[in-house]
Protein backbone atom coordinates (compact mmCIF):
# COMPACT_ATOMS: atom_id res chain seq x y z
CA UNK A 1 0.00 0.00 0.00
CA UNK A 2 2.77 2.44 0.92
CA UNK A 3 4.74 1.45 -2.16
CA UNK A 4 1.72 2.34 -4.31
CA UNK A 5 1.45 5.70 -2.50
CA UNK A 6 5.12 6.40 -3.20
CA UNK A 7 4.77 5.55 -6.90
CA UNK A 8 1.70 7.80 -7.15
CA UNK A 9 3.61 10.63 -5.49
CA UNK A 10 6.68 10.44 -7.72
CA UNK A 11 4.71 9.72 -10.88
CA UNK A 12 4.19 13.41 -11.60
CA UNK A 13 7.67 14.84 -11.13
CA UNK A 14 6.62 18.47 -11.60
CA UNK A 15 4.10 18.40 -8.75
CA UNK A 16 6.44 16.29 -6.64
CA UNK A 17 9.24 18.82 -7.03
CA UNK A 18 6.83 21.73 -6.50
CA UNK A 19 5.75 20.21 -3.18
CA UNK A 20 9.35 19.80 -2.05
CA UNK A 21 10.20 23.33 -3.18
CA UNK A 22 7.31 24.82 -1.20
CA UNK A 23 8.31 23.06 2.01
CA UNK A 24 12.03 23.80 1.47
CA UNK A 25 11.41 27.50 0.90
CA UNK A 26 9.19 27.78 3.97
CA UNK A 27 11.75 25.91 6.07
CA UNK A 28 14.63 28.08 4.85
CA UNK A 29 12.71 31.31 5.46
CA UNK A 30 11.47 30.38 8.93
CA UNK A 31 14.75 28.85 10.17
CA UNK A 32 16.80 31.73 8.81
CA UNK A 33 14.61 34.45 10.27
CA UNK A 34 14.16 32.78 13.66
CA UNK A 35 17.94 32.28 13.96
CA UNK A 36 18.72 35.87 12.95
CA UNK A 37 16.03 37.18 15.32
CA UNK A 38 17.49 35.20 18.23
CA UNK A 39 21.00 36.32 17.33
CA UNK A 40 20.07 40.00 17.18
CA UNK A 41 18.13 39.87 20.43
CA UNK A 42 21.02 38.07 22.14
CA UNK A 43 23.36 40.81 20.92
CA UNK A 44 21.50 43.34 23.08
CA UNK A 45 22.84 41.60 26.18
CA UNK A 46 26.14 40.23 24.90
CA UNK A 47 28.17 42.82 26.80
CA UNK A 48 26.60 41.58 30.04
CA UNK A 49 27.56 38.00 29.30
CA UNK A 50 31.12 39.07 28.43
CA UNK A 51 31.68 40.01 32.10
CA UNK A 52 32.44 36.54 33.45
CA UNK A 53 34.21 37.52 36.67
CA UNK A 54 31.25 39.03 38.54
CA UNK A 55 27.90 37.52 39.46
CA UNK A 56 25.95 40.66 40.33
CA UNK A 57 25.43 44.04 38.71
CA UNK A 58 24.47 46.98 40.94
CA UNK A 59 22.92 49.97 39.21
CA UNK A 60 20.52 52.88 39.46
CA UNK A 61 16.88 51.87 39.92
CA UNK A 62 15.93 53.65 36.70
CA UNK A 63 18.07 51.44 34.45
CA UNK A 64 15.92 49.67 31.83
CA UNK A 65 18.70 48.12 29.72
CA UNK A 66 22.47 47.93 29.58
CA UNK A 67 23.22 51.14 27.68
CA UNK A 68 20.89 53.33 29.73
CA UNK A 69 22.63 53.76 33.08
CA UNK A 70 22.63 56.99 35.12
CA UNK A 71 25.81 57.48 37.17
CA UNK A 72 26.18 56.22 40.73
CA UNK A 73 27.84 58.01 43.61
CA UNK A 74 31.25 56.94 44.85
CA UNK A 75 29.75 56.27 48.27
CA UNK A 76 27.56 53.56 46.71
CA UNK A 77 30.68 51.48 46.12
CA UNK A 78 31.64 51.63 49.80
CA UNK A 79 28.11 50.77 50.89
CA UNK A 80 28.00 47.74 48.60
CA UNK A 81 31.36 46.54 49.88
CA UNK A 82 29.95 46.71 53.40
CA UNK A 83 27.08 44.32 52.70
CA UNK A 84 27.63 40.92 54.40
CA UNK A 85 28.32 38.19 51.84
CA UNK A 86 30.13 40.44 49.34
CA UNK A 87 33.57 39.04 48.47
CA UNK A 88 34.53 42.09 46.46
CA UNK A 89 32.93 44.96 44.54
CA UNK A 90 34.56 47.13 41.87
CA UNK A 91 33.55 50.14 39.86
CA UNK A 92 32.61 49.79 36.21
CA UNK A 93 31.73 52.21 33.42
CA UNK A 94 29.84 51.73 30.17
CA UNK A 95 28.92 54.56 27.85
CA UNK A 96 28.98 55.85 24.30
CA UNK A 97 31.71 58.30 23.33
CA UNK A 98 32.87 59.96 20.13
CA UNK A 99 36.16 58.91 18.54
CA UNK A 100 38.00 60.96 15.93
CA UNK A 101 40.47 59.09 13.72
CA UNK A 102 43.71 60.36 12.17
CA UNK A 103 41.95 61.12 8.88
CA UNK A 104 39.31 63.24 10.60
CA UNK A 105 36.47 60.71 10.40
CA UNK A 106 34.43 60.17 13.54
CA UNK A 107 32.98 56.98 15.01
CA UNK A 108 30.68 56.28 17.90
CA UNK A 109 32.40 53.95 20.36
CA UNK A 110 31.10 51.86 23.25
CA UNK A 111 33.60 52.64 25.98
CA UNK A 112 34.11 50.23 28.89
CA UNK A 113 36.03 51.39 31.94
CA UNK A 114 37.63 48.54 33.89
CA UNK A 115 38.69 48.63 37.51
CA UNK A 116 42.33 49.79 37.51
CA UNK A 117 43.60 47.02 39.78
CA UNK A 118 41.49 43.92 39.11
CA UNK A 119 40.53 44.55 35.45
CA UNK A 120 37.21 42.80 36.10
CA UNK A 121 35.18 42.60 32.88
CA UNK A 122 38.22 42.70 30.60
CA UNK A 123 38.14 40.76 27.31
CA UNK A 124 39.23 37.14 27.65
CA UNK A 125 40.58 36.64 24.12
CA UNK A 126 43.30 38.93 22.82
CA UNK A 127 44.22 38.79 19.13
CA UNK A 128 47.23 41.10 19.34
CA UNK A 129 48.66 43.00 22.28
CA UNK A 130 48.44 42.24 25.98
CA UNK A 131 45.88 43.18 28.61
CA UNK A 132 48.67 44.45 30.86
CA UNK A 133 49.37 47.18 28.31
CA UNK A 134 46.26 48.97 29.53
CA UNK A 135 48.45 50.21 32.38
CA UNK A 136 50.20 52.48 29.88
CA UNK A 137 49.10 56.13 29.54
CA UNK A 138 46.07 56.73 27.28
CA UNK A 139 45.94 53.00 26.47
CA UNK A 140 42.87 51.51 24.77
CA UNK A 141 42.01 48.03 23.50
CA UNK A 142 39.51 47.77 20.63
CA UNK A 143 37.52 44.73 19.51
CA UNK A 144 38.21 43.05 16.17
CA UNK A 145 35.03 44.23 14.44
CA UNK A 146 35.60 47.76 15.73
CA UNK A 147 39.17 47.82 14.45
CA UNK A 148 38.03 46.77 10.98
CA UNK A 149 35.30 49.40 11.00
CA UNK A 150 37.70 52.14 12.08
CA UNK A 151 40.84 51.21 10.12
CA UNK A 152 39.88 48.58 7.56
CA UNK A 153 40.84 44.96 7.02
CA UNK A 154 44.61 45.42 6.80
CA UNK A 155 47.18 43.97 9.23
CA UNK A 156 46.73 45.06 12.82
CA UNK A 157 48.88 48.06 13.71
CA UNK A 158 49.30 48.77 17.39
CA UNK A 159 50.35 52.23 18.51
CA UNK A 160 47.76 54.03 16.41
CA UNK A 161 46.67 57.29 18.01
CA UNK A 162 43.21 58.83 17.81
CA UNK A 163 40.99 61.00 19.96
CA UNK A 164 38.11 60.09 22.25
CA UNK A 165 36.06 63.15 23.19
CA UNK A 166 39.08 65.31 22.25
CA UNK A 167 41.40 63.28 24.46
CA UNK A 168 44.41 61.38 23.11
CA UNK A 169 44.01 57.58 22.95
CA UNK A 170 46.60 54.98 21.97
CA UNK A 171 45.69 51.54 20.60
CA UNK A 172 47.59 48.86 22.54
CA UNK A 173 45.61 45.75 21.61
CA UNK A 174 42.84 44.12 19.60
CA UNK A 175 40.50 41.63 21.23
CA UNK A 176 37.69 39.31 20.19
CA UNK A 177 34.37 39.70 21.98
CA UNK A 178 30.71 39.04 21.20
CA UNK A 179 29.10 41.60 18.91
CA UNK A 180 26.89 44.29 20.46
CA UNK A 181 23.38 45.14 19.26
CA UNK A 182 24.68 47.88 16.96
CA UNK A 183 27.81 47.46 14.84
CA UNK A 184 29.69 49.89 17.05
CA UNK A 185 33.37 49.56 18.03
CA UNK A 186 33.96 48.47 21.63
CA UNK A 187 36.87 50.05 23.47
CA UNK A 188 38.31 48.92 26.80
CA UNK A 189 40.41 51.09 29.09
CA UNK A 190 41.13 51.58 32.78
CA UNK A 191 38.40 53.24 34.83
CA UNK A 192 40.64 56.19 35.68
CA UNK A 193 41.31 56.65 31.96
CA UNK A 194 37.62 56.28 31.10
CA UNK A 195 36.89 59.12 33.53
CA UNK A 196 39.00 61.36 31.27
CA UNK A 197 37.35 60.09 28.09
CA UNK A 198 33.75 60.19 29.31
CA UNK A 199 31.56 63.29 29.11
CA UNK A 200 32.25 65.55 32.05
CA UNK A 201 30.08 65.14 35.14
CA UNK A 202 30.33 64.79 38.88
CA UNK A 203 30.21 60.98 38.72
CA UNK A 204 31.39 58.53 36.06
CA UNK A 205 30.78 55.10 37.59
CA UNK A 206 27.40 53.74 36.47
CA UNK A 207 27.76 50.08 37.48
CA UNK A 208 29.23 48.19 40.40
CA UNK A 209 30.32 44.61 39.72
CA UNK A 210 30.02 42.28 42.69
CA UNK A 211 31.32 38.83 43.51
CA UNK A 212 29.52 36.86 46.24
CA UNK A 213 31.45 34.99 48.90
CA UNK A 214 31.62 31.22 48.58
CA UNK A 215 28.38 29.61 49.68
CA UNK A 216 26.37 32.85 49.50
CA UNK A 217 23.30 32.72 47.27
CA UNK A 218 23.48 35.42 44.59
CA UNK A 219 19.72 36.12 44.59
CA UNK A 220 19.67 36.53 48.38
CA UNK A 221 22.71 38.80 48.21
CA UNK A 222 20.97 40.95 45.59
CA UNK A 223 18.06 41.49 47.98
CA UNK A 224 20.42 42.43 50.79
CA UNK A 225 22.26 44.93 48.58
CA UNK A 226 18.97 46.54 47.55
CA UNK A 227 17.78 46.77 51.16
CA UNK A 228 21.02 48.32 52.43
CA UNK A 229 21.88 50.63 49.54
CA UNK A 230 18.58 51.45 47.85
CA UNK A 231 20.14 50.58 44.49
CA UNK A 232 18.99 47.88 42.07
CA UNK A 233 21.01 44.66 42.18
CA UNK A 234 20.58 41.95 39.55
CA UNK A 235 22.36 38.74 38.78
CA UNK A 236 24.00 38.45 35.38
CA UNK A 237 21.12 36.33 34.07
CA UNK A 238 18.46 38.69 35.45
CA UNK A 239 20.11 41.75 33.92
CA UNK A 240 20.59 39.95 30.60
CA UNK A 241 16.89 39.05 30.36
CA UNK A 242 15.81 42.48 31.57
CA UNK A 243 17.71 44.03 28.67
CA UNK A 244 16.19 41.55 26.21
CA UNK A 245 12.66 42.21 27.52
CA UNK A 246 13.20 45.94 27.01
CA UNK A 247 14.13 45.49 23.35
CA UNK A 248 11.30 43.01 22.79
CA UNK A 249 8.75 45.37 24.26
CA UNK A 250 10.08 48.74 23.10
CA UNK A 251 11.26 48.15 19.53
CA UNK A 252 9.73 46.87 16.30
CA UNK A 253 12.15 43.94 16.04
CA UNK A 254 9.69 41.21 17.16
CA UNK A 255 6.92 42.52 14.89
CA UNK A 256 9.14 42.75 11.79
CA UNK A 257 10.65 39.31 12.22
CA UNK A 258 7.30 37.87 13.30
CA UNK A 259 5.71 39.04 10.03
CA UNK A 260 8.49 37.43 7.97
CA UNK A 261 8.26 34.16 9.90
CA UNK A 262 4.47 34.14 9.57
CA UNK A 263 4.77 34.76 5.82
CA UNK A 264 7.12 31.80 5.54
CA UNK A 265 4.57 29.62 7.32
CA UNK A 266 1.68 30.90 5.18
CA UNK A 267 3.60 30.51 1.91
CA UNK A 268 4.67 27.00 2.82
CA UNK A 269 1.15 26.02 3.84
CA UNK A 270 -0.41 27.59 0.73
CA UNK A 271 2.00 26.07 -1.80
CA UNK A 272 2.00 22.66 -0.12
CA UNK A 273 -1.77 22.61 0.41
CA UNK A 274 -2.67 23.73 -3.09
CA UNK A 275 -0.22 21.39 -4.84
CA UNK A 276 -1.17 18.42 -2.67
CA UNK A 277 -4.85 19.11 -3.25
CA UNK A 278 -4.35 19.20 -7.03
CA UNK A 279 -2.30 16.02 -6.81
CA UNK A 280 -5.10 14.21 -4.99
CA UNK A 281 -7.81 15.53 -7.34
CA UNK A 282 -5.87 14.27 -10.36
CA UNK A 283 -5.50 10.84 -8.74
CA UNK A 284 -9.11 10.40 -7.62
CA UNK A 285 -9.60 7.42 -9.93
CA UNK A 286 -6.55 5.68 -8.52
CA UNK A 287 -7.78 6.24 -4.97
CA UNK A 288 -11.22 5.08 -6.04
CA UNK A 289 -9.73 1.86 -7.40
CA UNK A 290 -7.97 1.27 -4.09
CA UNK A 291 -11.24 1.78 -2.21
CA UNK A 292 -12.99 -0.57 -4.62
CA UNK A 293 -10.39 -3.20 -3.76
CA UNK A 294 -11.38 -2.91 -0.11
CA UNK A 295 -8.88 -0.45 1.37
CA UNK A 296 -10.78 1.54 4.06
CA UNK A 297 -10.74 5.31 4.52
CA UNK A 298 -8.18 5.00 7.30
CA UNK A 299 -5.84 3.16 4.95
CA UNK A 300 -6.29 5.86 2.30
CA UNK A 301 -5.62 8.56 4.90
CA UNK A 302 -2.46 6.74 5.96
CA UNK A 303 -1.27 6.77 2.36
CA UNK A 304 -1.88 10.50 2.03
CA UNK A 305 -0.17 11.20 5.37
CA UNK A 306 2.81 9.09 4.32
CA UNK A 307 3.11 11.07 1.09
CA UNK A 308 2.88 14.37 2.99
CA UNK A 309 5.39 13.33 5.65
CA UNK A 310 7.84 12.17 3.00
CA UNK A 311 7.57 15.51 1.23
CA UNK A 312 7.86 17.36 4.54
CA UNK A 313 10.94 15.38 5.58
CA UNK A 314 12.77 15.96 2.30
CA UNK A 315 11.77 19.62 2.10
CA UNK A 316 12.67 20.23 5.73
CA UNK A 317 16.08 18.62 5.30
CA UNK A 318 16.83 20.69 2.21
CA UNK A 319 15.62 23.91 3.85
CA UNK A 320 17.70 23.39 7.01
CA UNK A 321 20.70 22.45 4.88
CA UNK A 322 20.41 25.64 2.82
CA UNK A 323 20.07 27.68 6.02
CA UNK A 324 23.18 26.04 7.46
CA UNK A 325 25.02 26.79 4.20
CA UNK A 326 23.96 30.46 4.44
CA UNK A 327 25.36 30.86 7.95
CA UNK A 328 28.53 28.97 7.00
CA UNK A 329 29.18 31.29 4.05
CA UNK A 330 28.48 34.44 6.10
CA UNK A 331 30.28 33.30 9.27
CA UNK A 332 33.35 35.45 8.57
CA UNK A 333 31.44 38.61 7.76
CA UNK A 334 31.83 41.18 10.52
CA UNK A 335 28.27 42.48 10.19
CA UNK A 336 26.82 39.00 10.75
CA UNK A 337 29.24 37.89 13.46
CA UNK A 338 27.53 35.89 16.17
CA UNK A 339 24.52 35.00 14.04
CA UNK A 340 24.10 31.27 13.61
CA UNK A 341 21.44 28.61 13.25
CA UNK A 342 20.07 27.70 16.67
CA UNK A 343 18.57 24.45 17.91
CA UNK A 344 15.45 26.36 18.93
CA UNK A 345 14.99 27.49 15.33
CA UNK A 346 15.56 23.95 14.04
CA UNK A 347 13.03 22.39 16.43
CA UNK A 348 10.51 25.20 16.03
CA UNK A 349 10.66 25.08 12.25
CA UNK A 350 10.41 21.29 12.32
CA UNK A 351 7.21 21.55 14.35
CA UNK A 352 5.84 24.19 11.97
CA UNK A 353 6.61 22.02 8.92
CA UNK A 354 4.97 19.03 10.60
CA UNK A 355 1.83 21.10 11.22
CA UNK A 356 1.86 22.30 7.61
CA UNK A 357 2.14 18.87 5.97
CA UNK A 358 -0.26 17.08 8.34
CA UNK A 359 -2.91 19.81 8.21
CA UNK A 360 -2.74 20.22 4.44
CA UNK A 361 -2.78 16.45 3.85
CA UNK A 362 -5.86 15.97 6.04
CA UNK A 363 -7.59 18.90 4.36
CA UNK A 364 -6.75 17.60 0.89
CA UNK A 365 -7.75 14.02 1.75
CA UNK A 366 -11.38 14.98 2.34
CA UNK A 367 -12.12 14.49 -1.35
CA UNK A 368 -10.82 10.95 -1.13
CA UNK A 369 -12.62 10.06 2.09
CA UNK A 370 -16.05 10.88 0.60
CA UNK A 371 -15.16 9.35 -2.75
CA UNK A 372 -17.43 6.65 -4.13
CA UNK A 373 -15.47 3.61 -5.38
CA UNK A 374 -17.78 3.49 -8.43
CA UNK A 375 -15.89 6.46 -9.90
CA UNK A 376 -13.30 4.03 -11.20
CA UNK A 377 -15.88 2.43 -13.50
CA UNK A 378 -16.99 5.69 -15.10
CA UNK A 379 -15.69 6.71 -18.47
pLDDT tens, 7-48? Answer: 666 666 777 787 788 888 888 888 888 888 888 888 888 899
Cα 97 from Cα 278, distance rounded (Å):
61
User: What are the tens digits of pLDDT across the range 242-255?
Assistant: 999 998 888 777 88
Residue 146 CB-density burial (10 A; 0-12 exposed, 13-18 middle, 19+ buried): buried
Asked if 116 and 192 touch (Cβ cutoff 8 Å), the reply is yes
What is the number of H-type helices and E-type strands within the chain?
13, 10
What's this model's pTM, rounded to 2 decimal places? 0.80
Cα 194 from Cα 172, distance rounded (Å):
15
154-178: average pLDDT: 91
Residue 339: HSE in the Cβ half-sphere, 13 Å Cα cutoff = 24
Amino acid 123: pLDDT: 92
Least confident piece of the model among 150-159, 273-282, 331-340, 370-379: 370-379
Each residue of 5-29: b (16+ CB within 10 Å) or e? beebbeebeebbebbbbbbbbbbbb
Amino acid sequence: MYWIALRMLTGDRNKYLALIFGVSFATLLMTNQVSIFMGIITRTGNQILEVRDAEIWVMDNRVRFLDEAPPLQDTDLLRVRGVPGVAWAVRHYKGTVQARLEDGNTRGVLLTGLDDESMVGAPHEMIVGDLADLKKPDAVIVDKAGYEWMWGDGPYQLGRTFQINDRRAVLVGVCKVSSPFLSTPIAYTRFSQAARFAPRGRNVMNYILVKAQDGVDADALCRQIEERTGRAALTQSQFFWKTIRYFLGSTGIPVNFGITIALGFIVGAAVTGQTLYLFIVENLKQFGALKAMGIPNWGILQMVLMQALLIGGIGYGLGVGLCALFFTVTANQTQLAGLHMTWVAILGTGLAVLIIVVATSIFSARRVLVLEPAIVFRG
